[in-house]
Structure 1
Amino acid sequence: MSGEHHDRRTRAADLMHLNAMVLEETEQSLHVSADERPGPAGERLHRLADAMTETAGDIAERARGLSDEVKKRGTSG
């Protein structure tokens, strides 16, 4: 893997990890807001927050895979 390609993949993985962390923080904030709103509005916010958690998990998993690929290629090539 060329150095430039390696760097781009590393940056992409780092940005994906950062995005996942931001989504998790937003999710926590949404749950707090949902707790302050009774009824259907609060329930919708909780569902939205849970969906964000799933998305953050998916992004983090993909970022780990990309990071692992970069590490693997970096040691073998």
Structure 2
Amino acid sequence: MSGERSGDRTERASDLMQLNAMALEETELSLHEDADGRGDPAAAERLHRLADSMTDTARDIADRARNLADPVPERERR
């Protein structure tokens, strides 16, 4: 990595963040499926809430990754 340019590191970070977001979304689907199979309604509700929270986190990570990959030009930040 020592020879890597800053832009390359940023792109790599963005790519890894996108992969993490996708993994969270897959886990979220699994949790919803597990919740649907629960006999205990309270446990099912907790799993659904956890899964929804993971969706929000995945969305936040994906948004941040997009912002890294497509930075706002300096003059537009002001």
Q: TM-score, normalised by structure 2?
A: 0.83
Structure 1 vs Structure 2: percent identity of aligned residues?
A: 64
Higher relative contact order (Cα pairs below 8 Å, separated by 6+ residues): 1
CA offset digits 1:2-40 (Å, max 9, x no partner) = x61011000000000000000000000000000001310
- Where structure 1 has 5 or more consecutive residues not aligned to the other structure, the ranges are 73-77
Bigger fraction of residues in helix: 1
- Where structure 2 has 5 or more consecutive residues not aligned to the other structure, the ranges are 74-78
What's 2:9 paired with?
Answer: 8
Instruction: Give me the CA root mean square deviation.
Output: 1.6
Moved over 3 A (4+): none
Q: TM-score, normalised by structure 1?
A: 0.84
What's 1:75 paired with?
Answer: none
